[in-house]
Structure 1
Amino acid sequence: MKEYILNLEKEFSLIENGFKEEEKRALSDYQSNDIAYIKELAFLAFKSNVYQVRMYSVFLFGYLSEQDDISAFLRDKVSKDDNWRVQEVLAKAFDEFCKKIGYEKALPVIDEWLKNTNPNTRRAVTEGLRIWTSRPYFKDNPDEAIKRIATLKEDSSEYVRKSAGNALRDISKKFPELIKEELDSWDVKSKEIQKVYKLASKFIK
């Protein structure tokens, strides 16, 4: 296993952009091996100094995320990785988790992550579920998506606020009236909220 990871490090370290190769390999390995092996492989790969191998490991964690210890590891440990590319994959892994257990069933976990003290954990939700209203459950219940994203309009992290604004803007293409109604209820005195408002209202006439 260690030798396999060394080979991944050599191969993946040459990849400078994107995530498709890491995702493709992770899915192939997940489909070709038993769960216990993949779990051990994912934890070992996450210890790599090569961020592309950690990206690969987070894709594996996404496929394993129905396990409580794995979803907790994503929330508490992966979210602390200092590479922004790994954080992009965390968002994808969270969406994979929601897809596996069902978006409606995932609502308590979505809410829990949105209240987490780590901005990377909160952003994994807003970014991972984009476009929210293309996802099952939220497609038929856009209000449920809007009210959750809107709670982040005053988030302490600009990184999170920007993601929230973009996520609301996505929804406004299909549900402009609902987004307008939400935005009309905002007190836009602060600069922080003004920026989110500007992003969210971009397509609203």
Structure 2
Amino acid sequence: MTTRKGARTIAAIPPSILDQLNKGEIESANLNEWLAINQKQLLETVLTQYNRKTYLQDILTDISNLKKQTVTTINEAIGVGLLTQSYIHNDTALFDLLSQHPSDTVRCWAVFFVGKDEATVAEKLERMKVFAADRHFGVRELSWLAIRPDITENLETTITLLTPWTRSDNEYIRRFASESIRPRGVWCKHIEALKETPELALPILEPLKADTSKYVRDSVGNWLNDASKTRPEFVVSLCKKWEKENNSKETAYILKKARRSILK
């Protein structure tokens, strides 16, 4: 697999790289590349490759009917459309083909097979774990976005289920536990219960208060900053408690991010 590092503007992406991205031959290396991918072109390429081009037109119609076409709404429309086609055609192999594809965008489509399928939140979380631990940032982000409605509807159960994830050796899994329940998560509906009662999330936040991973610490700091906008006294009190319990640089990093709105 080809990997590339370094930031590029969309205009600066070499045509040869963009062509490989649109053919699903390589992963996007950064957000600019991720946003530049022509998902409709990629979809046609993938369905042709897998001898499933008959699925294409219905999904393109779904995309054209979207009120707002963004990278995430198109991604979800394709994922849900592919899930629907798998039902119609009893295509039990499609999920595995998508979830193991070299393209991160294609694996994102597979995320919605889990997020939009009919199952309990426990079953969805178990199936979603492989995507939560994916090597690509885009797949990891959509893994929690796709299951966010289930999390919100089953909040206390989800917190109980995710608490053991905070002890995982994998930083991506630990980060999912925090990021998926942020009160004011990015690009998604807020969780009102956690805006008003952030104490509910302490079983997840406490084990992560001195996490060794910056990726996790950023999530925890942002979580508390979210909470500070509706419950500043909770965040102030928790930060004081954590300062007394742990004087590590890791905890200090989280507390600085947590209090940034309060100290403005």
TM-score tier by shorter-chain length is 0.7 to 0.9
Partner SS state of residue 204, structure 1 = coil
Equivalent of residue 72 in structure 1, options 126, 133, 155: 126
Alignment-derived partner of residue 34 in structure 1: 87
Between the aligned partners of 2:114 and 2:241, the Cα distance in structure 1 is 39
Matched residue type, 2:145 = K
Q: 1:67 to 1:164 in 2, by over 3 A?
A: closer
Is the Cα contact below 8 Å between 2:79 and 2:113 reproduced in 1? yes
C-alpha contact 2:183 2:227 (8 A) present in aligned 1: yes
CA–CA separation in structure 2 for the residues paired with 1:103 and 1:36: 34
> Alpha-carbon deviations, 1:66-111, whole Å to 9, x = none?
3766532322x223321111111122234244246x1122232121
Q: Give the corresponding residue for 2:35.
A: none
Structure 1: runs of 5 or more not aligned? 12-16
Deviation at 1:113, TM superposition (A): 2.2
The count of aligned residue pairs is: 195
State whether residues 78 and 90 of structure 1, in contact with CA within 8 Å, keep that contact through their aligned partners in structure 2.
Answer: yes
Quote the offset at 1:140 in angstroms: 4.9
Q: In structure 2, what is the Cα distance between the partners aligned to 1:154 and 1:49?
A: 34
- 1:138 & 1:128 partners in 2: Cα distance? 12
Query: Where in structure 1 do 4 or more consecutive aligned residues deviate above 6 Å?
Result: none
List alignment gaps of at least 5 residues for structure 2. 1-46, 61-69
Separation in structure 1 between the aligned mates of residue 210 and residue 253 of structure 2, nearest angstrom: 10
Structure 2 residue 179 is the aligned partner of structure 1 residue 123 = no
Contact 1:169 1:201 in 2 (8 A): yes
TM-score (norm 1): 0.79
| Structure with bigger gyration radius | 2
Answering whether residue 202 of structure 2 is matched by residue 202 of structure 1, we say no
Q: Percent identity?
A: 24
Change (3 A) 1:37 1:198: farther
**Separation (CA, whole Å) in 2 of partners of 1:145 and 1:137:** 10
- CA RMSD in angstroms comes to 3.1
How far apart, CA to CA, are the structure 2 residues paired with 1:38 and 1:140?
A: 44
